[in-house]
A and B are shown apart, each in its own frame.
Chain A
Amino acid sequence: MLDFPRWKVVTIWAVLLIGVLLAIPSLMPESTAGKLGLGHFPRINLGLDLSGGSHLLLEADTADLAKQNLAKMEETIRTEMRRGSPKVDIGDISTANGQLSFFVRDVAQLDAAVERARSQTQAVGVTGQRDWNVAVVDSTRIVMTPTQAGLSDSADRAMQTATEVVRKRIDELGTREPTIVREGATRILVQVPGLQDPAGLKALLGKTARLEFKLVDLTANPADIAQGHAPPGSVLVPYPGNPGGIPSIAVQRRTIISGDDLINATVDKDQNGQPAVSIKFNGAGGRRFAQVTQENTGKPFAMILDNQVISAPNINEPILGGNAIIQGSFTTDSANQLAIALRSGKLPVALKVIEERTVGPQLGADSIHAGVIASVIASVAVIVFMLVTYGRFGVYANLAVVLNIFVILAVMALLNATLTLPGIAGFVLTIGTAVDANVLINERIREERRRGRGIVQSIELGYKEASRTIFEANTVHAISGLIMLVLGSGPVKGFAVVLLIGIAISYFTAVFFTRMLAAQWLRRRRPTVLVI
């Protein structure tokens, strides 16, 4: 029967009422919502295509990461073989073709060397696979190859850190509500609403900011450096601003102190009033810095940022207390950027911008404005059209469609979903489906009426038959929506989210809500004529 128990009536109204209430904050400007004390209620986020701002897709350079890992393992092996007792004498260490290989001078020590190399590998993942394979070739040579599991594990950890670092750096910029999410295995999506000039952001993000302090190798002969040769135990590092003329400098391999020990970096002025960056180390770093500067007073040391010397001053006096100042040819802006980059830690892996979009605020505002006007006109047209076609049942349908819009907005706000241009397309389609569901019901009622059935029976049958069709259609529709949600990216996904929410809600409003209104009308009025 068209009987509706009271609890159903209450539930339906309650759901719709909550929906409308939750949609309201999203419908008013943010400032108004804040004034009314609704600032804490969930709001729909507007996508950058509607609100204006910058969108960057960053990709990690995994080849670079693999190279770093190899270099680290090379260092570890060198120290381990030397440090352990007995000392294993190795030679001809190389890192070609993504492998680390070296040979053991004393064949008797081969097994011990393999054991020691193996102890440096780690189990990763659920299968307990090691991150490196250790193999012996040609009876004296040990080859270490990173396994697939090891590579993806290290990439995964690097990406986690990188995402955090990116978040910190962007937070330092003080922008409003940035979105920073990891996408897939090697990507980070950054969206900053309102930011119009992404160049500074890109420069900031592109910095790996690997800061190291190393002693300058004074034994190096300038002629050798010019030819690209470094003395044993030293490496050549580019030094574009070298007052000595040669654009590179020899420094000792050993790092005195690295950015890992850094706890703060701020913009400062040096003794000449030039912009500089003042940095502060943690306890351990500060002690080491103090010790090295005590032992090497009068000698120069190099500050190396991302494998480039930014400054190589002389140590005038021991630097105690863990504070130091970085001087170079900075402007206030570049000093600030360096300070931020240092402060927010180093990126474990280089990030490259592979997609960049900037939408001016005017364009976004225009789109919204036009969209709203068009939507209002469209709604009025549809409402009038439904009204002249179905009369009373048109009013029910209109109520259903309008409530439908509110509830979709509410659900999107609750899910913290983002409304984008493609989302609007999904919205239009959803409203289309909602209208269609009501049309299906009403046409079916007309049809049953034509077949000569009574009023109550026509309405009942109309709802029953149409509900089945609506269910079928919505199920198929939802399947396609789900596939798009799982497989699609960006706009396709945004579209699918709105679509799925809309399908569920339009089914509810069309089938339950209008049915309830019809049932209540039938019971109250017991009509003898049905105008539909």
Chain B
Amino acid sequence: MRLLKLVPDNTNIGFVRLRYWAFGITALLTVAALAIVGLRGLNLGVDFVGGVLIEARFQQAPSLDAVRGDVDRLGVGEAQLQTFGAPNVVSIRLPLPQTNDEGATNRLVKNVESAVAAKYPGVAFNRAETVSGKVSGELVRNGLLAVFLAVLGIAIFSWVRYEWQFGVSTFVAIAHDVLMALGFFALTRLEFDLNIVAAVLTIIGYSINDKIVIDDRIRENMRKYRSMDMRALIDLSVNETLPRTVMTSLTVLLALAALLIFGGPVLRGFTAAMMLGVVVGTYSSIYVSSSLLITLGLTPSITPKKATGPAAGAERIGR
């Protein structure tokens, strides 16, 4: 049986040679992502900004303007409407009622639901969520802190385990991945809620895996070929791991594509983010983290074979 080989044996692609181009493109994309996030902002869900969210499934796709008008007539504040996965599934977001009255939110939800139901028979309400401003603030803080410290922890591990250059390059590359994901959400206006934080974490996880595999190979080759030029060594390492990179990325993309197409509207934003993450993570492993190692001045000579204490190399006289 002839087996499938996606990447020919002994590839020798000059990745490192292209690194200045890659740096340029990366810088451009990063600035673009930052700009989009800064200018348009993320479409933060009620998890993060507080408020009321009602999700309605209509019999037929309604006109959003008409529904907005119906909700606005109730005088409950400015409603934000958005279709959610399918044209007949609409999420209605409202500000929290400004009172201390516990029942006010319930009445608000009931009001909106009955007003919409009166106008559109057969509408079903899938879910309703209310998050107070206090909780949403904490959710943002905890989520960000967890993500940031996780990335920092990885960087410290890489630094302690390998060389500091690996720590820095991994940190930069993962930060880049996260930024790209945020840019994607700012660009598409997909709702950014706590579930998406999980998607971003998945991106980080995938990216870490990818980077450690390549870093590990670089380190292995640094021991093997002590006098090799660093650029050639990185090219060699990336090329050696290329079949695995392509194979794994493709497999995961395949699985995610199935989830994207058949996984239903709830999973869609989530899956799209992860697919982007796989592409971006693979790219950043090759171009951001590996190439950055050269810029940071990593050379094989600074990884001597592990010394086992000061006396390891000393001469000894025995009986």
Contacts and interface: CB of A to CB of B under 8 A. Distances in A.
Please say whether chains A and B are actual partners in one complex.
yes
Given A469-B217, A480-B204, A355 B157 contact: no
A476 B6 contact: no
B146 A484 contact: yes
Given A425-B274, A492-B201, A360 B124 contact: yes
Contact of B267 (A371, A491, A496): A371
B222 to A, nearest CB: 14
B250 to A, nearest CB: 7
A515 interface: no
Interface string B290-302: 0000000000000
Contacts of B114: none
B262 A373 contact: yes
B240 interface: yes
Nearest to A381: B254
Contacts of B5: 389
A39 interface: no
B258 A491 contact: no
B143 A492 contact: yes
B59 interface: no
Give the residue among A369, A379, A443 with the most B Cβ atoms within 10 A: A443
Interface string A426-467: 101101110110011001001100100000000000000100
A306 B71 CA distance: 36
A57 B158 CA distance: 39
Contact of A484 (B201, B241, B266): B201
Interface string A16-48: 000000000000000000000000000000000
Contacts of A532: 3
Contacts of B220: 465
Contacts of A443: 241, 243-244, 247
Nearest to A52: B127
Interface string A356-388: 111110110011011101110111011001101
B161 interface: yes
B255 interface: yes
A282 interface: no
B208 interface: yes
B132 interface: yes
A203 B103 CA distance: 8
A178 interface: no
Interface stretch (B62-70, B191-199, B308-316): B191-199
Given A373-B262, A435-B248, A472-B161, A477 B146 contact: no
B209 A473 contact: yes
Given A390-B3, A479-B153, A491-B194, A385 B254 contact: yes
Contact of B194 (A432, A446, A490): A490
B262 A370 contact: yes
Contacts of B205: 429, 433, 477, 480-481, 499
Contacts of A292: none
Contacts of B229: none
Contact of B3 (A353, A377, A389): A389
Given A357-B128, A435-B248, A440-B213, A425 B199 contact: yes
B98 interface: no
B280 to A, nearest CB: 15
Give the residue among A425, A426, A432 with the most B Cβ atoms within 10 A: A425
Interface in B96-143: 102-103, 105-106, 110, 124-132, 134-135, 138-139, 142-143
Contacts of A472: 161, 212, 216
A484 B143 CA distance: 9
Contact of B240 (A203, A421, A447, A495): A447
A421 B195 contact: yes
B258 A381 contact: yes
A359 B267 contact: no
Contacts of B241: 443
A431 B274 CA distance: 14
B272 interface: no
Given A354-B134, A373-B262, A389 B247 contact: yes
B35 interface: no
Contacts of B235: none
Nearest to B243: A443
A15 interface: no
A391 interface: yes
A426 B127 contact: no
Interface of B is mostly: helix
Given A362-B124, A363-B55, A488-B146, A374 B267 contact: yes
Interface residues of A, number: 80
Contacts of A313: none
A378 B248 CA distance: 14
A424 interface: yes
B3 A388 contact: yes
A426 B198 contact: yes
A475 interface: yes
A117 B202 CA distance: 58
B127 A357 contact: yes
Interface in B146-183: 146-147, 149-151, 153-154, 157-158, 161
Given A359-B126, A366-B266, A421-B195, A378 B142 contact: no
A238 interface: no
Contacts of A371: 259, 263-264, 267
B102 A353 contact: yes
Contacts of A182: none
Nearest to B136: A355
B126 A363 contact: yes
Given A488-B142, A494-B198, 12 more contacts: A353-B130, A354-B135, A370-B264, A378-B256, A378-B259, A425-B274, A432-B209, A479-B154, A480-B150, A483-B146, A484-B146, A492-B201
21 contacts: A362-B57, A374-B263, A378-B259, A390-B3, A422-B194, A424-B267, A429-B206, A432-B248, A432-B255, A436-B213, A469-B212, A476-B157, A479-B154, A487-B145, A487-B149, A488-B146, A489-B142, A491-B197, A492-B198, A495-B201, A531-B3
Interface of A: 49, 57, 198-199, 202-203, 206, 352-360, 362-363, 366-367, 369-371, 373-375, 377-379, 381-382, 385-386, 388-391, 421-422, 424-426, 428-429, 431-433, 435-436, 439-440, 443, 446-447, 450, 465, 468-469, 472-473, 475-477, 479-481, 483-484, 487-492, 494-496, 499, 531-532
Interface of B: 1, 3-6, 9-10, 55, 57, 102-103, 105-106, 110, 124-132, 134-135, 138-139, 142-143, 145-147, 149-151, 153-154, 157-158, 161, 194-195, 197-199, 201-202, 204-206, 208-209, 212-213, 216-217, 220, 240-241, 243-244, 247-248, 250-252, 254-259, 261-264, 266-267, 270, 274
Which 8 pairs from chain A and chain B are nearest by CB? A370-B264, A422-B198, A378-B258, A378-B255, A480-B150, A363-B126, A473-B212, A374-B263
